[in-house]
Homo-oligomer: A and B are copies of this chain.
Amino acid sequence: MTPSRLRQGALNPAEFLGSTPPDCGGTAAFVGTVRNEHDGRAVTGIRYHAYAPLAERRLEQVEQEAQRRFGVRVRVAHAFGELVVGDASVVVVAQAGHRAEAFDACRWAIDTIKQSVPIWKEERYAGGEARFLEGTPIREVGQA
């Protein structure tokens, strides 16, 4: 069984870089982590909320559409719940024959995750306040 793409708590990026298939020459990866600052405010952590049934499906669609567009094997995962500064919230790994497709697919996948997966950041600030970030209206995975 494939492990879930939507997971509670910080991700372990190393888990996704385990082994490469023998026809893979280039792996491009992206790891998003919680920063200590946003728009000039000191951030202590982020709570990620997700609408799980659709988020799981959309993450899977990102993998499938990346494969279709770039001919590249892509694995994605996203965290939900409370994360602190330095924690990994999202991982994309693209394994390709050559590096150009690997980079293109990896970048496309993270851009698409940010626009197409029902997940929301609630930032927590040093003073104790919390705030949902402004986002982008959700799009279909294939939509430009």
Which residues of A line the B interface, CB within 8 A? 13-14, 17, 19-37, 85-86, 88, 97, 99, 102-103, 106-107, 110
Contacts and interface: CB of A to CB of B under 8 A. Distances in A.
A58 B104 CA distance: 26
A29 B110 CA distance: 13
Number of copies: 2
A11 B1 CA distance: 29
Which 5 pairs of residues, A with B, have the shortest CB-CB distance?
A14-B14, A22-B36, A25-B35, A29-B29, A27-B31
B29 A25 contact: no
B22 A86 contact: yes
26 contacts: A13-B27, A14-B14, A14-B17, A17-B17, A17-B29, A19-B86, A20-B86, A20-B88, A22-B35, A22-B36, A23-B35, A24-B33, A24-B86, A25-B32, A25-B33, A26-B32, A26-B33, A27-B29, A28-B28, A28-B29, A29-B30, A29-B31, A30-B102, A35-B97, A103-B103, A103-B106
Contacts of A85: 22
A27 B33 contact: yes
Contacts of A99: 30, 32, 107, 110
Contacts of A22: 35-36, 85-86
Nearest to A32: B26
A114 to B, nearest CB: 9
A26 B20 contact: no
